Amino acid sequence: MPASLQEYTSRVITPTLEAQKRQGAVAVKFEAAYLRTLDFGPPPVDQALYLNEAQQIYSRYAKSGVPSKPDYIKLQDYLVRYIAHEAGRLGLPVHFHTGGGCGSYFMLNGSNPANLDSLLNDASLRKTNFVLVHGGAGAFTKYTAYLLMKPNVYADFSEQTWLISTRKLSEVLRDWLEWYPEKVLFGTDLYPNTPEINWEEIGWQTTQSGREALAIALTGMIQDGEITHARALELAHMALHDNAAKLYGWQSQAKLP
């Protein structure tokens, strides 16, 4: 292990992210919500003091020993911000699992995307784009709707494609599309289950539910006089393709059939 935190970040974290970028990575993802709260503390007022405190904790335990929970969290908070800053420099969006998770004892309150507020508001991370993966699935989709007002925040609706009904998902999507349609990203959250209900079946079900929910949301907006049919097609194409293409730098745009 490098002796100092500065060496660790410069010799391990930055080269790793740069290598991943060269090898075709499109984003980095934190599964932090499975391990701790998404509240990474307030943005540092004194950068030198913030670094010094993290450095002391790192140096004390780099070779041996186990830090206290408050010390470990303080070091994690520093490293998350460092990784997010470097990812922004490299043009890699940062993904966070938000909302409900697997396991009988998943800590739901800690996965509320509103916990990310201080990170998303950090002035030093203005060049970093963040994606609220699952969009706060289940309990927190309303929070996501408000967080999308931040210029560098996006959300996908994966996991919601099987966690809630298609009709309920359409209500979530309409809420997002009416305010920030350029921030909404299609997603499914595909995974294997049993031999009888495996990749193929779940892939079909989640894709079908996501597309149907999007169609229901846009149809309702047309019927209520909010948008035209042409605008609905445009919004559908944005959610299914164009928004992601822009976010991840895939500039070639497919044409509507």
Torsion angle in degrees (nearest 10) through CA of 239, 242, 247, 250: 140
Chain segment 17-51, per-residue pLDDT in tens? 999 999 999 999 999 999 999 999 998 889 899 99
Place of tokens 């959610």: 239
Q: Is the pLDDT of residue 123 over 90?
A: yes
Distance CA 61, CA 4 (A): 11
Distance CA 195, CA 8 (A): 43
Q: Grade residue 252 by pLDDT with cuts at 50, 70 and 90.
A: low
- CA distances (Å), 226 to each of 133, 210, 213, 219, 220, in order? 27, 21, 17, 10, 9
- The rounded Cα 188 to chain-centroid distance in angstroms is 14
Q: Is the pLDDT of residue 192 over 50?
A: yes
Chain segment 154-185, per-residue pLDDT in tens? 999 999 999 999 999 999 999 999 999 999 99
Closest by alpha carbon to 71, among 82, 81, 59, 63?
59
At residue 134, the 3 state secondary structure works out as strand
Q: For the residues 188-215, what does the mean pLDDT come to? A: 92
Closest by alpha carbon to 10, among 46, 57, 58, 53?
58
Q: Is the pLDDT of residue 253 over 60?
A: no
Chain segment 127-151, per-residue pLDDT in tens? 999 999 999 998 999 999 999 999 9
Q: Centre a 10 Å sphere on the Cβ of residue 231 and count the other Cβ atoms it contains.
A: 14
Q: Centre a 10 Å sphere on the Cβ of residue 116 and count the other Cβ atoms it contains.
A: 24
Q: Determine if residue 109 is left, alpha or beta; phi over 0 gives left, psi from -120 to 50 gives alpha, anything else beta.
A: alpha
The residue that leads in pLDDT, 63 or 76, is 76
User: What average pLDDT is seen over the chain?
Assistant: 94
Q: Grade residue 257 by pLDDT with cuts at 50, 70 and 90.
A: very low
pLDDT for 8 equals 97
Distance CA 257, CA 246 (A): 20
